[in-house]
Amino acid sequence: MKVLIVEDERPMALEMEAFLKKAFYICDLAFSARQANELLDNNPYNFILLDLGLPDKDGLVVLKEAKLKCPDASYIILTARGDLEDRIKGLDLGADDYLPKPFSLLELQSRMAAISRRKSGLAGSLVQLGDFSIDLNQRLVFFGKTSIELSKKEFDLLSYLLLHKNRPLTRLQLSEHIWGSFSDDDYDSNYIDVHIKNIRKKLTVHAPADWLQTIRGIGYKIKS
Amino acid sequence: MKLLNKLTLYHTLSKTVIVILFTALLPLLVREIASRYTNTALQEQKNKVLQTIDKNGIDYYFQGDSSYGSYTMLKEEYISLDAAPAGFPADTIETTQRIVDKDTLTYRILSHVFEYNHKKYLLEIGKTLAAIDQYNAPLQRVALYALAGLILATLLIDLFFTRLLLRPLGIIIRTKLLNRKFPFKDSHPPVKTTTTDFRYLDDSIIDLMNKITAAFDKEREFTSNASHELMTPISILQNKMENLMDAMPQEEAQEKIMGMMQTLNRLKKIVRSLLLISRIENDQFVRQDSVQAYSLVEEVRAELEDRIEAGCISIEINVSRSVTLHSLNRDLLFQLLYNLINNAIRYNKKEGSIRIYDNAETTEPYILTIEDTGIGIDKADLPFIFNRFKKGSSTTTEGFGIGLSIVKSIAQYHGIELQLVSEKGLGTTCSIVFPAQITSMSPSLPA
């Protein structure tokens, strides 16, 4: 997967690159609209991560131009402006998703994965975890042929942990994923624990789910 | 009381007092004038008699007799001339009774003692009181009518003129002071008036409003800019920490980084909240949604289900399904309810309860009430509870007190009134009072 990161804040672009590289994405960096245009002229990309607040051109114009040069790529808009209007305009212009700054890199990767899944259709969306199989597209969990009912949040948590499997996720990261800007400031609370407890309860009726691990003092991870 | 009413009352009262005084004094006055006039008339008659005596001698009257007396046909006036009894006072005018031709009548009598040919004579000229007072009553009546007419006329003129004079004040109060909602977006032209006091007042108010608006705009702009500028470094820090967490898998390092991330997240929440408030205050949200009150409350409850479960809190929702709220921003109203219900959960006791109910069955306005059995709020803290960053002195739970100030901004933006009642240790009741124009009841649907 080839990714073009268009972001004028260098440190920010570099962190994104470092993170995505570990997830096996190949990244190019553009710090201005001009650089982005040059790169788009000569390279095909699967993903274009576009900051709207570029110094040399309006981000929405850059998006329009990029769409012409690279119509098959998936576009994610990144912006600190966070205005609803920008978001609507961006999505109208054909962006696939929108992430307001500051965002978690885990969230960025999960959005990219979701877009990939959506675009590739059903193929390869069934993941095996112990005795369970998880259909990320249909949002279903199976034990053999039996479907297990999970609530929306429970499934969101499970799929987020699954996407970042073998990486411990803190309660903060998990609650930010499911509550977004509604996530609260009191992290000593155990709302995430309640959900995990419920997921475990529903799964262990059928078979042990020891791949869902508690990391003491940190949070949870899925080990596979 | 309004100034105009006060002035009207004052005018009416002062004029009533004048009328009462005049009515009370009028008979006395008229009598006094009549009596004075009578006295003068009697004096004049006396002088005439004396002149006649001077000219023609006293026998002109006596005609050989030793006394003279005469009265008019109806005994209204009489005159008598006689020898003066010894020791009779020289000159008097008094009201007394006389028997004239068998009739006892009350007269005003001038008595005059004079010497003529070394003899003392007493001249009496009298006029009946009935004759003197005969014009009093009609005179009084006419005077009263005239006065009443004049008073009424001046009162009307006074009222009309005060009304005219005070009209600019009324306009100033109506357009510049009443129902002005902060921030002042609607501007009103200066009021037309030639009264310098009002001119000064109006100019001062316009000036003050402009200053307040300018200061408020500046603060808003600052908050908005500062928040945007802060977002980028926070972004970079967050991403650096996430990468660092991957790079340092040791447990101790992970915990430290997690602590840093939590602090950073707190900063992020504050900045985000400030940005949200500044967006609300900048009018950046559209108010065009219609939502069913019940479904919104249910949605918030579902969103908070895990917290309710974690706190072992029982929640009872008793909200009518027939109430729809209009012309509002659904996301903002959701946030408002979310923050309030979240507080009811967060500051509740273990195994406490929450009751959410409305008054759809009774009268307007529509009120949605959230009642909890939580720790309550100190009376001293209640007035500050909606202020930015103000945290109750007695609260031990982590929190930076911005949730309620978001609630306040959203409420203000929709013209919603919030009423908080709280008893320390017993719980808090928050009532959300919706303005009538955004509430509508559909014919009740099956529950």
List chain B residues with CB under 8 Å of A15. 236, 239-240, 242-243
Q: In chain A, which among 172-211 make CB contacts under 8 A with chain B?
A: 172-173, 176, 181-191, 193-195
As a whole number, mean pLDDT of residues B84-91 equals: 83
- Over the stretch A34-52, which tens digit does the pLDDT of each residue have? 999 999 999 999 999 999 8
List chain B residues with CB under 8 Å of A214. none
Helix, strand, or coil (residue A117): helix
- Over the stretch B330-363, which tens digit does the pLDDT of each residue have? 989 999 999 999 889 888 888 899 999 998 877 7
Give the lowest-confidence range in A181-190, B33-42, B109-118, B234-243.
A181-190
Q: In chain A, which among 96-155 make CB contacts under 8 A with chain B?
A: 101-106, 153
B255 and A CB contact within 8 Å: yes
CATH of span A126-222: 1.10.10.10
* Cα A1 from Cα A74, distance rounded (Å): 11
Paired strand residues for A141: A134, A148
B303 and A CB contact within 8 Å: yes
As a whole number, mean pLDDT of residues B80-93 equals: 86
pLDDT at residue number B447: 43
Put simply, the answer to whether B285 touches A84 (Cβ < 8 Å) is yes
pLDDT band of residue B62 (cuts 50, 70, 90) is confident
Domains of chain B: 3-136 (no CATH), 196-281 (1.10.287.130), 289-441 (3.30.565.10)
pLDDT at A202 over 60: yes
pLDDT at residue number A161: 93
Choose among B296, A140, B294, B396: nearest CA to B304: B296
Q: B389 versus A149: which is more confidently predicted?
A: A149
The whole-chain average pLDDT of chain B stands at 86
Q: How many distinct helices (H) and strands (E) make up chain B? A: 10, 13
Domain ranges of chain A: 2-120, 126-222
Put simply, the answer to whether B310 touches A80 (Cβ < 8 Å) is no
pLDDT at B391 over 90: no
Separation in Å, CA of B295 to nearest CA in chain A: 18
| Inter-chain Cβ pairs, chain A and chain B, closer than 8 A | 99
As a whole number, mean pLDDT of residues B85-95 equals: 85
Give the lowest-confidence range in A129-143, B82-96, B117-131, B171-185.
B171-185
Identify the residue whose tokens are 């005179």: B139
List chain A residues with CB under 8 Å of B238. 102-104
Q: What is B139-177 written as a DSSP string?
A: HHHHHHHHHHHHHHHHHHHHHHHHHHHHHHHHHHIIIII
- Over the stretch A140-193, which tens digit does the pLDDT of each residue have? 899 988 999 999 889 999 999 998 988 889 888 888 888 776 655 555 557 888
pLDDT at residue number A186: 56
- Over the stretch B269-288, which tens digit does the pLDDT of each residue have? 888 888 888 888 878 788 88
Q: B446 versus B76: which is more confidently predicted?
A: B76
Nearest CA in chain A to B397: A186
Closest Cβ opposite residue B265 in set A168, A172, A194: A172
CA atoms within 13 A on the CB side of B278: 22
pLDDT at residue number A84: 64
Contact B327, B288 (CB under 8 A): yes
As a whole number, mean pLDDT of residues B230-235 equals: 88
Nearest CA in chain B to A195: B306
Choose among B215, B202, B220, B346: nearest CA to B279: B220
pLDDT at A20 over 90: yes
Domain spanning A2-120, CATH architecture: 3-Layer(aba) Sandwich (3.40)
Separation in Å, CA of B391 to nearest CA in chain A: 14
Nearest CA in chain A to B262: A172
pLDDT at residue number A94: 86
pLDDT at residue number B354: 95
